Chains A and B, each alone.
Chain A
Amino acid sequence: MAELTPPPVRRIALDADPTVIPPEEAINGNGHASAVRRPEAPRPGTVLERMRVEELSVAYGSKLAVNRVSIEVNRGEVLALIGPSGCGKTTLLRSLNRLVDGTASAARSGRILLDGNDIDFIDVTQLRRQVGMVFQQPNPFPMSIFDNIAYGLRERGSRKPSKRALEPAVHSALHRAGLLEEVKDDLQHPALRLSGGQQQRLCIARSLAVQPEVLLLDEPCSALDPISTGIIEELIAKLRTEIAIVIVTHNLQQAQRVADRVAFMYLGDLVEYGAAEQVFEAPQAMRTRDYVTGAFG
């Protein structure tokens, strides 16, 4: 049964980005290490700016949800957006792939650049392929596991690639999301039969399948148990060398475990922004200090 060994992780040459470092060898699919290690500090030279947010404001009608926020999103780093609920984290995240544009009442101003290009001048399909998103509630499509992962690839062109042609990409995406070992014999099973944690990793794999440069995660673990949460945090630590990751969380321990950089938001304002150690250990602003020491939130 030679097919059962997972194929080597390889980017599809067609879409390969010359600046992308190949993913680390052999992500072990079942890694159930219970204690999540803090990721090692990124090697110098591997941090690369991918997105830059300049003076972003978003209002729903007259209600300002994000107020003149400027941040950068770098490959090789995990950026955590923290803050009490309703402070605009999701709105900021959904601005990065222009998903807020689908909300009729939302008005966005300021600039967001992806690799130096204003996202308002990038074709939105292209943008959303480069900036993938995983939602708070796992949302696998009501299809087979295989079809879920292949969805983005099939919708890419007018010509539908054959199942066989898609197989390597599907396997590779599942492997990168650490799910391949668990599901490789059940690729035709309904995705909705997976457990919550598996569903969320499936959604991560579905995003990874279209080779994004940036991955947005909106409270990806809030619906999951601690073990699944640990698995996903470990996955994030591994993925951060390949792609830029932005994770929204209102779980401070989680931010502390996975983030290299932290942005603390409060009522739409960016209150504090910097390296994780600095924000957690030596916060500059009073409100950050109160929040990270648990005075409110």
Chain B
Amino acid sequence: MSATREDRRVGLTLGALSSLVLLLIAGMIFFVLEKAWPSFSHNGLSWFGAKGEVDAQLTEIFNSPADPNNYVYTIGAWPLIYATALVTFLSVALATVFSVLSAIFIVEFAPDRLRRVLEPVVRLLAAVPSVIYGLIGILVIVPFVADHFVTEGARESVRFVIQLDGTSLAVATAILTVMITPIMIAIIVDALRTVPQGWTQGAVALGVNRWRAMRTIAVRTARPAIVAAAVLASARALGEAIMLSMVSGSVGFAPNPLDGYIFLLEPARPLAATIVDNAEGLSVVPFGQTLYAFAAVLLVSTAMLSLGGWYARRALRKYTVTR
């Protein structure tokens, strides 16, 4: 068989495979949206709003009458959406700062011997299963926070609204940050390495110190990769369910920034954690459809994130691409 014919065959096979993958994804999105539709259509836009206790509404839906004409769908998912956005945004923001700084350190400042240890450790950390973080969180961090940060005063001040037991926005954010930082470091380190030496050298030759040269040239050049890393991390944060359901408190509650620092100690259960927490109820039709609606929101958010990241990267590459 001639080489070109073999190439063509490989090309066709790979093309068919990737089309299959695309088809699967499209099918999945369609399936989820279709399942979720009753929940959205019954509530209209108020699905996204706040209608009081979301957990009580979930219980109502779970206890729906068996008659399809009397299914209960009423829900205002705002506390869950808000918790998702809050936990994701806070942890990705923190992780971006940490990972950029660590990557600069690894690439430019770490002594060779430290670098040789640090890099494999970072890559290893990126692969730790999230349930392990969840275990450490619930066995170590949550009790620690409950003992040391949740004071009697704090507990009292929100007594009529919510119970503070250590499972909280702060712990969820902190552990999620630790979880997503390593993969971001790995991506950003690779990106900083590909910045041509000539550029940073040129800056240094203009009298700029190494730190400024890294900041103003290397990090600037690596911005598309930083955006890509942040998008990837956001997707992971949005989808993280097990760990968050373990440490964020099993209450659908919207932490109130007006509570001052207590805000951080209040529970906040995101969408993905809500799905795993309630998975046993899937057999109840309207309840299952409500969970599918949560999943649909997550799917659409990740899709929009990827799209936004793509646009941002394209804009940021304007000066790097030569022609």
Contact = CB atoms under 8 A, between A and B. Distances in A.
A210 B207 CA distance: 10
Given A141-B217, A142-B320, A192-B319, A152 B201 contact: no
A142 to B, nearest CB: 4
A124 B319 contact: no
Contact of B206 (A132, A142, A144): A132
A206 B207 CA distance: 12
Interface in B176-216: 196, 198-199, 201-210, 212, 216
Contacts of A203: 202
A74 interface: no
A145 B221 CA distance: 15
B28 to A, nearest CB: 39
A281 interface: no
A99 B201 contact: yes
A227 interface: no
Contact of A142 (B205, B210, B319, B323): B319
A280 interface: no
B318 interface: yes
Give the dominant DSSP class at B's interface: helix
Interface string A120-132: 0000111111001
Nearest to B322: A192
A132 B322 CA distance: 25
Interface string B310-321: 000000001111
Nearest to A153: B206
B206 A99 contact: no
A137 B199 CA distance: 10
Task: Choose among A143, A144, A206 the residue with the greatest number of B CB atoms under 10 Å from its CB.
Answer: A143
A152 B319 contact: no
A132 B205 contact: yes
Nearest to A126: B207
Contacts of B203: 141, 151, 155
A44 interface: no
Contacts of A97: 205
A264 B208 CA distance: 32
Contacts of B321: 190, 192
B205 A128 contact: yes
Contact of B199 (A99, A132, A133, A141): A141
A259 to B, nearest CB: 22
A128 B201 CA distance: 12
A127 B209 CA distance: 12
B198 A137 contact: yes
B206 A128 contact: yes
Interface in A112-162: 124-129, 132-133, 135, 137, 139, 141-144, 151-152, 155
Given A139-B196, A193-B322, A125 B201 contact: no
Contact of B204 (A102, A142, A192, A193): A102
A207 interface: yes
Given A139-B198, A142-B221, A151-B206, 9 more contacts: A128-B205, A128-B206, A135-B205, A142-B199, A144-B319, A155-B206, A190-B321, A193-B322, A210-B207
Q: Which 3 A-B pairs have the closest CB atoms?
A: A139-B198, A128-B207, A125-B207
